[in-house]
Amino acid sequence: MEEDEIAGYVTAYLKKKGFTQTEKIFQEEFQTNKTNSSPLEPDIAKHILSFSQLESGPARFHDGYSRLRSWTHCSLDLYKHELLRVLYPVFIHCFMDLVAKGHVQEARHFFNTFREDHEMMHLRDLQKLEGVLSPTHLEEMEFAHSLRQSKFNIKICEYSYELLLQHLHSTQSTTILGIINEHINFQVTPGQPSSIVDDPEAVTLSGSSQDAANQINQKEIHWGLLEDSLEERLEKASSLLSDSEKGEGEAKEGETEENKKRPVEGGKQGASIKKVKKDKGGSATGKNTKAEVNTVSAAPRVKPELPMPIIPTEVEQSILEDLRNRVQLSSVALPSVSFYTFLNTHNGLSCSSISHDGSLVAGGFSDSSLKVWDMAKLGEQTASSLSQDENDTSQNPQMGQSGGGKRQYTLFQGHSGPVYAASFSPVGEFILSSSADSTIRLWSTTYNANLVCYKGHNYPVWDVQFSPVGHYFASSSHDRTARIWSMERIQPLRIMAGHLSDVDCVQWHANCNYIATGSSDKTVRLWDVQSGECVRVFVGHRSMILSLAMSPDGRYMASGDEDGTIMMWDLSSGRCLTPLIGHTSCVWSLAFSCEGSVLASGSADCSVKLWDVNTSTKVSRAEEKSGNASRLRSLKTLPTKSTPVYALRFSRRNLLFAAGALAKNG
Amino acid sequence: MSIVGKERIEVIAQSIGITNLSPDVALSLAPDVEYRLRDIMQESIKCMRHSRRTTLTADDVDSALSLRNVEPIYGFASGGPLRFKRALGHRDLFYIEDKDLDLKDVIEAPLPKAPLDTAVTCHWLAIEGVQPAIPENAPVDGRSPSTGSSLFIVISVPAEAKKNEQKDDNLPVDIKLPVKHVLSRELQLYFDKVTELTLTQSESVLFKEALVSLATDSGLHPLVPYFTCFIADEVSHGLSNFSLLFALMRVVKSILQNPHIHIEPYLHQLMPSVVTCLVAKRLGSRLADNHWELRDFTANLVASICKRFGHVYSNLQSRLTKTLVNAFLDPKKALTQHYGAIQGLAALGPNVVRLLLLPNLEPYIRLLEPEMLLEKQRNEVKRHEAWRVYGSLLRAAGQCIYDRLKIFPTFPSSLPHAVLKTNARVLMSSPYKRKASLEQLEEQPPLKKTNTDGEVGVVLTNSSPSHKQGEAGTQASSVDSIIGSSSASEQMKNDTISNAVVRSNKVDTRSWKTSAALAQVWKDELNSGRILVSLFELFGEDILPFIQAPELYMFL
Mind listing the pLDDT tens digit for each residue in A613-634? 876 565 545 444 443 334 457 8
pLDDT band at A258 (very low <50, low <70, confident <90, very high): very low
Residues 6+ apart with CB under 8 A from A189: A155, A156, A157, A158
Residues in chain A with CB shorter than 8 Å from the CB of B6 are none
What pLDDT is stored for residue A649 in this prediction?
93
> Is B125 in contact with A640 (Cβ distance < 8 A)?
yes
The answer to whether residue B422 scores a pLDDT higher than 90 is no
What pLDDT is stored for residue A492 in this prediction?
93
| B186-348: CATH number | 1.25.40.770
> Is B172 in contact with A478 (Cβ distance < 8 A)?
no
The answer to whether residue B500 scores a pLDDT higher than 50 is no
CA torsion sign, A439 to A440 to A444 to A445? Answer: positive
> Is B178 in contact with A385 (Cβ distance < 8 A)?
yes
In angstroms, the separation between the Cα of residue B43 and the nearest Cα of chain A is 10
> Is B63 in contact with A436 (Cβ distance < 8 A)?
yes
What pLDDT is stored for residue B447 in this prediction?
39
What pLDDT is stored for residue A364 in this prediction?
94
Of A133, A338, A636, the CB nearest to B34: A133
Phi, then psi, of A155 in degrees rounded to 5: -85, 130
pLDDT, chain B, mean: 68
The whole-number average pLDDT for the span A506-524 is 91
> Is B138 in contact with A544 (Cβ distance < 8 A)?
no
What pLDDT is stored for residue B525 in this prediction?
54
> Is A640 in contact with B178 (Cβ distance < 8 A)?
no
User: CB-based contact (8 Å) between B549 and chain A?
Assistant: no
What pLDDT is stored for residue B180 in this prediction?
54
Residues in chain A with CB shorter than 8 Å from the CB of B123 are 338-339, 341, 385
The whole-number average pLDDT for the span A585-589 is 93
In angstroms, the separation between the Cα of residue A320 and the nearest Cα of chain B is 23
Residues in chain A with CB shorter than 8 Å from the CB of B31 are 104, 133-134, 137
The answer to whether residue B539 scores a pLDDT higher than 70 is no
Residues in chain A with CB shorter than 8 Å from the CB of B4 are none
HEC sequence for B139-207: CCCCCCCCHHHHHHHHHCCCCCCCCCCCCECCCCCCECCCCCCCCCHHHHHHHHHHHHHHHHCCCCHHH
Amino acid at residue number B505: N
Of A334, A379, A387, the CB nearest to B128: A334
Of B53, B122, B137, the CB nearest to A340: B122
What pLDDT is stored for residue A503 in this prediction?
94
| pLDDT tens, position by position, A417-475 | 999 999 999 988 999 999 999 999 999 999 999 999 999 999 999 999 999 988 999 99
Residue A484: strand, helix, or coil: strand
CATH of A57-193+201-208, one of 1.25.40.500, 1.20.1440.230, 1.10.357.10, 2.120.10.30: 1.25.40.500
Asked whether the ipTM of the predicted complex exceeds the cut of 0.95, the reply is no
How far is A395 from A358, CA to CA, in rounded Å? 11
> Is A544 in contact with B46 (Cβ distance < 8 A)?
yes
More reliable by pLDDT, A373 or B552: A373
Strand order in the sheet with A545-550: A545-550, A556-561, A566-570, A575-580
pLDDT, chain A, mean: 76
In angstroms, the separation between the Cα of residue A300 and the nearest Cα of chain B is 31
pLDDT band at B538 (very low <50, low <70, confident <90, very high): low
Share of chain A above pLDDT 90, in %: 26
In angstroms, the separation between the Cα of residue B72 and the nearest Cα of chain A is 14
User: CB-based contact (8 Å) between B159 and chain A?
Assistant: no
How far is A559 from A580, CA to CA, in rounded Å? 10
Give the residue from chain A lying closest to B171, CA to CA. Answer: A343
Residues 6+ apart with CB under 8 A from B515: B410, B412
Least confident piece of the model among A107-116, B447-456, B502-511: B447-456
More reliable by pLDDT, B404 or A386: B404
pLDDT band at B405 (very low <50, low <70, confident <90, very high): low
What pLDDT is stored for residue B481 in this prediction?
42
The answer to whether residue B462 scores a pLDDT higher than 70 is no
How far is B275 from B326, CA to CA, in rounded Å? 13
| pLDDT tens, position by position, B105-157 | 888 888 888 888 888 888 888 888 888 878 777 765 433 333 333 333 333 33
Q: Are B167 and B135 in contact (CB under 8 A)?
A: yes
Of A335, A349, A546, the CB nearest to B49: A546
User: CB-based contact (8 Å) between B114 and chain A?
Assistant: no
Share of chain B above pLDDT 90, in %: 2
The answer to whether residue B229 scores a pLDDT higher than 60 is yes
What pLDDT is stored for residue A616 in this prediction?
59
Residues in chain B with CB shorter than 8 Å from the CB of A337 are 124-126
Q: Phi/psi zone of residue A471: left (φ > 0), alpha (ψ -120 to 50 degrees), beta?
A: left
The answer to whether residue A251 scores a pLDDT higher than 60 is no
The whole-number average pLDDT for the span B331-359 is 79
**C-alpha torsion A88→A89→A91→A94, nearest 10:** 180
> Is B122 in contact with A635 (Cβ distance < 8 A)?
no
Give the residue from chain B lying closest to A125, CA to CA. Answer: B42
Residues in chain A with CB shorter than 8 Å from the CB of B134 are none
| In chain B, residues 26-65 whose CB comes closer than 8 Å to chain A | 31-32, 34-35, 37-39, 42, 46-47, 49-54, 57, 59, 63
The answer to whether residue A272 scores a pLDDT higher than 50 is no
User: CB-based contact (8 Å) between B369 and chain A?
Assistant: no
The answer to whether residue A153 scores a pLDDT higher than 50 is yes
The answer to whether residue B556 scores a pLDDT higher than 70 is no
Q: Is B260 exposed, middle or buried (0-12, 13-18, 19+ CB in 10 A)?
A: exposed
| A333-379+407-615+629-661: CATH number | 2.130.10.10
Residues in chain B with CB shorter than 8 Å from the CB of A608 are 125-126
In angstroms, the separation between the Cα of residue A313 and the nearest Cα of chain B is 31
More reliable by pLDDT, A26 or A37: A26
| In chain B, residues 244-263 whose CB comes closer than 8 Å to chain A | none
In angstroms, the separation between the Cα of residue A131 and the nearest Cα of chain B is 5
The answer to whether residue A73 scores a pLDDT higher than 70 is yes
The whole-number average pLDDT for the span A276-280 is 37
Of B2, B124, B131, the CB nearest to A108: B2
> Is B129 in contact with A387 (Cβ distance < 8 A)?
no
- Ordered by start, the domain boundaries in chain A are 1-29, 57-193+201-208, 333-379+407-615+629-661
The answer to whether residue A107 scores a pLDDT higher than 80 is yes
Of A348, A349, A462, the CB nearest to B50: A462
Of A134, A341, A608, the CB nearest to B121: A341
pLDDT band at B169 (very low <50, low <70, confident <90, very high): very low
What pLDDT is stored for residue A328 in this prediction?
83
> Is B46 in contact with A384 (Cβ distance < 8 A)?
no
Pick among A126, A355, A384 to test the B interface (most B CBs inside 10 A): A384
Residues 6+ apart with CB under 8 A from B317: B306, B310, B348
* Beta-carbon contacts below 8 Å between A and B: 185
Of A130, A384, A638, the CB nearest to B126: A638
What pLDDT is stored for residue B460 in this prediction?
36
Residues in chain A with CB shorter than 8 Å from the CB of B130 are 334
Residues in chain A with CB shorter than 8 Å from the CB of B175 are 382-385
Q: Phi/psi zone of residue A344: left (φ > 0), alpha (ψ -120 to 50 degrees), beta?
A: left
The whole-number average pLDDT for the span B481-491 is 43
The answer to whether residue A645 scores a pLDDT higher than 90 is yes
| pLDDT tens, position by position, A187-210 | 787 776 665 444 444 555 544 445
How far is A277 from A301, CA to CA, in rounded Å? 6
The answer to whether residue B167 scores a pLDDT higher than 50 is no
How far is B273 from B248, CA to CA, in rounded Å? 9
The whole-number average pLDDT for the span A344-349 is 86
What pLDDT is stored for residue B535 in this prediction?
64
- Ordered by start, the domain boundaries in chain B are 6-81, 186-348
> Is B117 in contact with A342 (Cβ distance < 8 A)?
no
The secondary structure of residue B387, as a DSSP letter, is: H
Residue A548: strand, helix, or coil: strand
The whole-number average pLDDT for the span A127-155 is 79
Of A338, A585, A640, the CB nearest to B54: A585
How far is A193 from B21, CA to CA, in rounded Å? 58
Q: Return the CATH fold of B6-81.
A: Histone, subunit A (1.10.20)
In angstroms, the separation between the Cα of residue A61 and the nearest Cα of chain B is 19
Residues 6+ apart with CB under 8 A from B59: A366, B47, B51, B77, B78
Residues in chain A with CB shorter than 8 Å from the CB of B32 are 133-134, 137
Give the residue from chain A lying closest to B177, CA to CA. Answer: A383
Residues in chain B with CB shorter than 8 Å from the CB of A346 are 115, 118
Residues in chain B with CB shorter than 8 Å from the CB of A586 are 49, 54
* Most confidently modeled range among A177-181, A293-297, A553-557: A553-557
pLDDT band at B540 (very low <50, low <70, confident <90, very high): low
User: CB-based contact (8 Å) between B124 and chain A?
Assistant: yes
